[in-house]
Structure 1
Amino acid sequence: MAHAAVQYFLSLFFFLFFLSPNVVSSIGVMLNPYNPSCASKPPASATPISSSDVDLLQFALNLEHTECDFFLYGALGCGLDAIAPELAMGGPPPIGARKANLDETTRLIIEEFGYQEVGHLRAIKNTVGGFPRPQLDLSAENFAKIMDDAFGYHLNPPFDPYNNTINYLLASYAIPYMGLVAYVGANPNINGFVSKRLLAGLLAVEAGQDAIIRAKLYERMHEFVPPYQITVAEFTNRISSLRNRLANCGIKDKGLLVPHELGAEGRISTNILSANRDSLGHRRTPAEVLRVVYGTGSERQPGGFLPKGGNGKIARELLVDH
């Protein structure tokens, strides 16, 4: 009996290790849930984070902070100071942010976006360090001015992003896309493999947020935005045109309805995603981004969402007085 048992185990050993490597691999994974093969190896000759990466990735914090508090307040009525106060690093609370009157589906989407932005702030600051949250202006008055600038006249009554779901989505249209184009613009100048991994992860989620916002607006693009006799599509076109005008570097932003020649392959007028002639994401430099976010058309004149200017080396060096 003992001899038979020995033969059985020897046969099983031979089968597992010589005839069925897949079985061995599966058993190894079960015994050791952490599978080293899941982690990609770093490039043979590269640095994790180059010195030039730090400023570019920290610059993005200005946009991430703006999105974070706008989304958290819109969905919850409270912001970063209530969810992860350590990430504010003592920066002042945003001006005028408040809870929006959203339908429950949209509220849940925006709440998720807010938490995602908390994660983005943590990821950037843990990887390359950071700075205190800059002064943000998320007031209805600031958004009203943006919309007035987009249309070239005062909307009556003034646009209020917190009034209802469609207004809030239009206001959201004005924010995440700037993070998207900033990351696409920064990508060629990022050198470290850890920095590249971080930027790719950030860009993926920013693009997803922008796509969801645009898709929800796309479904209602022919509706009038009450109480104005202006369609959703016209709002998006005006906002995009304003950003192109402020950035002053050509067409890198398009609304939901475009001339055929600006649509995908020059064959369609609907424009659910904004992209270039090859359907690649547009890119903007930090200076272009600040011209838009400041709302002044100048990277040296703060205003808009960042009334005291952005924080970090890049933004501060672009100011007139630094």
Structure 2
Amino acid sequence: MSDTAAPLKQRVGRYGVWSIGLRSEDPARRGEIAEAAAELEELGYGTAWLGGSSAAGNAAPLLEATSRLAVGTSIQSIWQHDAEASAAGFAGLESAHPGRFVLGLGVSHAKLAEQYRRPYSALVAYLDALDAAGVPAGRRVLAALGPKTLELSRDRAAGAVPYLVTAEHTARAREILGEGPLLAPELKVVLDEDPERARTTARDYLAMYLALPNYTNNFLRLGFTEDDLKDGGSDRLVDAVFAWGDDARIRARVEEFLAAGADHLALQVVVAGAEREALPRQEWRRVAALLA
């Protein structure tokens, strides 16, 4: 898959922003989102990753507002959007903005999808349908956590976009993927130097994910214990999945993921007390500066 992944690696760049707010369908926010996308491009981010079960329609406003920025779904649920609609959306964006849309796919979670059955087999069938509809493997990526889905990311896609993972998971994923495919994990960032306050912010955000077995099972595979998953997560768990602290500490955490084999990092800024759909533009500027 390395031949098809190489152009995508170049397109997405080294760093991107992961945001639920950028996928908002509120017409009143369209101007704000377009302005934010244009600034992300100016700041040097290579990609905007749209959180939640986003689709091509959510990506269109950002692509229209920019000229170079790649836009990816992170992560489109295969249960919410059928393959035919996904293929049609991809074709439309490819015609209007060639090479800039990345179709990120995932199986979501049993608690969030009533039809959740045999997720791996369903994902394979979905990829078969995308193949039949002409969506190239080199322009789609999978939200892979376990070994089987990572292998599928290697064999049937351009790579993987794992969510809520550690540097150790990144190293394991790179070993399975090999050198060619794109590996673009998401990493949460809290710009707060106070350990207690930063970890409180992290735990408040992490709590809902610790109710989802796909994530907790992955943590257990990585050597965390049931105790690490209690009360919003142990310090060990929080420190493994968040980058927090001053600029130097955050840079070191970013470098840890890159050294483990990440080609690209999707950076999600988490701000204490902010709504999940807020656009933390001031924080995006600071992150861009500390990574420059």
Q: TM-score by structure 2 length? A: 0.27
Q: Report the TM-score when normalising by structure 1.
A: 0.25
Q: Which has the higher contact order (CA 8 A, sep 6+)?
A: 2
Bigger share in helix:
1
When Rg is computed on C-alpha atoms for both structures, the one with the higher figure is 1
